[in-house]
Each structure stands twice: as structure tokens, then as C-alpha cells.
Amino acid sequence: MTEHVSTGRRSHRKSRTGCLQCKRRKVKSPSTRTVHVVHHIYNYVWPCHPADQFQCDETKPVCKNCIRHATAAQCSFEPVSASRSSSLSTHRDDVSSTTSPQTSSDFAPTSTATTAALRPRGPPPELALLDLELLHHYSTSTSYTLSRHPALQTVWRVRAPQIGFSSDFVLRGILAIAALHIAHLRPLDKEIYVSQAQVHHEAALQTVAPILPAVMDENCTALLLFSSLTCFFSCARPRKPGDLLLVEGGQLSEWLVFFRATRTILHYDNAALRQGPMAPMFINGDRSVQLREARASEGQIYVRELKQLIQEDVEDPAEVAIYFAALDELSKSFGVVMDPEGGRCEPSDVFVWLMQVSDEFLARLRESRPVALVVFAYFCVIIRRLEWAWWLSGCSVHLMAGLYQLLDNKYRVWLQWPMEQIGWVPQAAN
């Protein structure tokens, strides 16, 4: 096929002001040249504008050609000198006159949006990379260590962070326990992560303290969730000699007071909690309660000897009743966690005793009364069963050593069975 190309005489319209991207692609600036292609056999003539389909229209700040090629971000122009400004203006007027209104409006929104995107702005705020690392670690690792039950792991991994995004004290509780977990895994960086954990924990406590007395539908789930996170945090933080977990400086630990205060939340609107995101925890809790009651008699064997010692040593019947009530609750826990076929126990199987024991017993524990300390030593055996969790590892031995130091020789003998169960032997110097 032979083609005949005919063009009309045209004025000089070459331009050097196209965008740098189009110049790199060797695309010329616009022209009004019309090309007529004639087929020599069929004598068919049609107009063609082959170059115009890809030419740079020099629209600033982004030309349409760069928009077509999705390279708007790279579109740039050389600075225009004063001597060329007038000729450039005339040339752009000519180009505008040859462009249809419809074509111009089609690209106007895109050009405006691109202009806004490319407009210089101030420096972006810095990312809290350490906190992002903590949240990532929590989602991929820590959340799986807070329970062995798949449904509860989902609560901790998925639902807890969701609640945290609307309740910052929950989110800070999550970041705090994640920081302690990393500190546990990376001893060389322990100081950094423990410090960050403490920052988040203290900030969360300051936020939640005014809210706790005013429980409402909007915060009851978050408060209940935070109480569990506080329990994990208190068990996982670095331990000091003489730290008895439940008592600090002659007072009940702050976390224990808060933990027991959640009983008010449970009684506030049980139906709302059971139907909310914490529903799997309540389902599992109901099963644990039923199991505790069913095996209470089986657990009595573990506290029977201690009851005899208390009855022989304590003269006041009211005092005996307080200790016996604490041991009865403890026997229910023993019935669950000491079952050889029960598998690994859950945190709720252990810490439910702290929720059920009376204020009168805790008052005697705060006063370091010997019998109360011995009862607490029996609780260490139950803690030992939960030490598959990193956040409780070594806690039973630490507590037993502290309790042993507080007791005289008469009551140290009462610790024989719990010491054997956790595998701790006092040092000869003690």
C-alpha cells in the first residue's frame, strides 16, 4: 500500500516549555498540524493527528499527558525566563483556543486535586515507632499468652484492641503488657521496655481512676477489660525482694484494690456485658464457676490439715471463720487446678480466689498476721499451676521466699506442703 501524505503550510509552533517528563519521553509540545492520509487504491482520505494524542499540553502544574501516564507526581517544568514569558503566554492562548470546553473540564478536577497534593506543606508528625512496635508485638505474640482457650485468645487479640481505640486506658494497658513481654524476651533491652511499660501503665491509671466510681454502659466493658490487663501487668513487672504481690508497704496493692472493685462492674449490668465483645469470657467463666462448685469437695483434701492447725492455734471463733471461709474458696480452686485430667488451668481459675475472698481476710493479710500469710502460701501452689505463662513465671517461688521471711519458726513448719509443691527449699542462712 502506498500512502500519500499532504500537509498545509503552517506557522512555526515549536515549543521548548513542555514538562520534563514529556521531554524525557521525546514527546513534542502541541501543534495544530493536520495530517491527511490518502489510500492510493481506494482513494480514501482521512484526517489524522497522530502526534496530538501524546503531546504535552504544558498545563501547569501537571500536564494532561502525565495524568494519562499516571506520572503526575513526577511532572515538573523548567523555570521560564522573563524574555520568554510573553511568547509563552501567546502560545498558551492559541492552545486554549484549539481545546474544546469539554476536554478542559474533564481534566480540571484532576488537576486541582493534584495541585493540592503537591502543594508544599509542613513536616509530617513523627510516628511513635516504639508504640507501633508494641501494638504489633501484642497482636502477633502477647495476646496469645494471656489465655490457652482459642475463643479467649481471639478476644485478647482482636476485640481488646478494638475497645482500646475508643478507650485509651485500655490501649495503654495493652501497650504496657506488650512492653513487659518484649522486656522478658530481650534482656539486653529490658530497661527501655520496662520504662515504657511503666509510662503507659501510670497514664492509664490516671485516666481510669475518675471513671471507676461512675460505671456506665459506655465504659463497663472497657473497665472490666482493663482490670484483667492490670492483673497481668502486676504479675509480669520486675519483682523486688519482699514484694508480696498483694501487699505493698503495709497496704493492699493498688492493682488488687482495683481488681476487686470490678465486682461492682459485674453487678452493674451483667446482661450488657454478656452480650458484648466480652461474651466469650463470661461463657468460659460460667463453666469455671460450675466446675469449681462441682469439685469443691475434692479440693478439701488439700486444705484439711491446715484447717486443723488453724483450729488448734486460733482461739477466737470469728477469726477461725474468716480463715475457714478463705480456705473453702481456695479448696474450690484446688479442685480445678489439681485435677490431672483438667489440662492447663486458665488465669480465671487462679485469680477468682482474689475476687471471692473476704475483705476481712485481706485486712489480716495486710497486717501480716501469721495464719493469713500461711493461707496465702497455699495460694502459691495454685499460682504455680499457671506458670506456663511468661508473665507469672517464677512468681510462686518469689512469694514463698518472701512469706518464709515474714514467719517465725512456729509457722514456717506449716509451709512444708506448699514448699514441696512448688519445689522451693529455703537457703541455709534463713
pLDDT (average), residues 51-73 = 63
Could you read off the pLDDT of 298-321 as tens digits, one per residue? 999 999 999 999 999 999 999 999
HSE value, Cβ hemisphere, 13 Å, CA-based, for 34 = 7
Question: In which band, very low, low, confident or very high, does the pLDDT at 74 lie, cut at 50, 70 and 90?
Answer: low
CA distance 235 to 395: 8
User: Model's pTM, two decimal places?
Assistant: 0.70
Question: In which band, very low, low, confident or very high, does the pLDDT at 16 lie, cut at 50, 70 and 90?
Answer: low
Instruction: Report the SS3 class of residue 3.
Output: strand
CA distance 250 to 402: 14
CA distance 383 to 252: 19
- Residue 39 confidence (pLDDT) above 50: no
CA 134 to the chain's CA centroid: 7
Burial class (CB in 10 A: 0-12, 13-18, 19+), 275: exposed
Alpha-helical (H) ranges within 295-369 are 296-299, 304-313, 317-337, 347-356, 359-366
Q: 104-108, 164-168, 275-279, 285-289 — which is least confidently predicted?
A: 104-108
What is the share, in percent, of the chain residues with pLDDT greater than 90? 50
Contact 64, 54 (CB under 8 A): no
Instruction: Encode burial over 306-323: b for 16+ CB neighbours within 10 A, e otherwise.
Output: bbeebeebbeeeebbebb
Question: In which band, very low, low, confident or very high, does the pLDDT at 389 lie, cut at 50, 70 and 90?
Answer: very high
Instruction: Report the SS3 class of residue 252.
Output: strand
CA distance 95 to 104: 11
Q: Where is mean pLDDT largest: 6-20, 144-158, 343-357?
A: 144-158
- Residue 230 confidence (pLDDT) above 80: yes
Question: In which band, very low, low, confident or very high, does the pLDDT at 180 lie, cut at 50, 70 and 90?
Answer: very high
pLDDT (average), residues 361-375 = 96
**Per-residue model confidence (pLDDT) at position 420:** 96
HSE value, Cβ hemisphere, 13 Å, CA-based, for 77 = 18
CA distance 270 to 268: 6
**Per-residue model confidence (pLDDT) at position 19:** 78
pLDDT (average), residues 87-113 = 48
Question: What are the residue boundaries of the structural domains of the chain, listed by start?
Answer: 129-238, 283-429
- Residue 343 confidence (pLDDT) above 80: no
Q: Strand 247-248 vs strand 45-48: parallel, antiparallel, or unpaired?
A: unpaired
Give bridge partners of residue 36 from the DSSP assignment.
6, 47
**Per-residue model confidence (pLDDT) at position 44:** 42
- Residue 50 confidence (pLDDT) above 50: no
**Per-residue model confidence (pLDDT) at position 379:** 97
Residues whose CB falls within 8 Å of the CB of residue 61, separated by 6 or more in sequence, listed in order: 75, 77, 111, 114, 115, 118
pLDDT (average), residues 112-116 = 57
Q: Quick count: other Cβ atoms within 10 Å of Cβ 162?
A: 11
Q: 155-159, 218-222, 269-273, 358-362 — which is least confidently predicted?
A: 269-273
Instruction: Encode burial over 215-248: b for 16+ CB neighbours within 10 A, e otherwise.
Output: beeebbbbbbbbbbbbbbbbbbbeeeeebbbbbb
- Residue 267 confidence (pLDDT) above 90: no
Quick one: cell of 35?
495530517
Quick one: cell of 135?
501494638
Share in percent of the chain as helix, strand, coil (round to 5): 65, 5, 35
**Per-residue model confidence (pLDDT) at position 43:** 45
Cell 471463720: give the residue.
Answer: 321
**Per-residue model confidence (pLDDT) at position 111:** 54
CA distance 55 to 242: 81
Give bridge partners of residue 47 from the DSSP assignment.
36
SS3 sequence of 38-103 = EECCCCCEEEECCCCCCCCCCCCCCCHHHHHCCCHHHCCCCCCCHHHHHHHHHHHHHHHHCCCHHH
Question: In which band, very low, low, confident or very high, does the pLDDT at 82 lie, cut at 50, 70 and 90?
Answer: very low
**Per-residue model confidence (pLDDT) at position 117:** 56
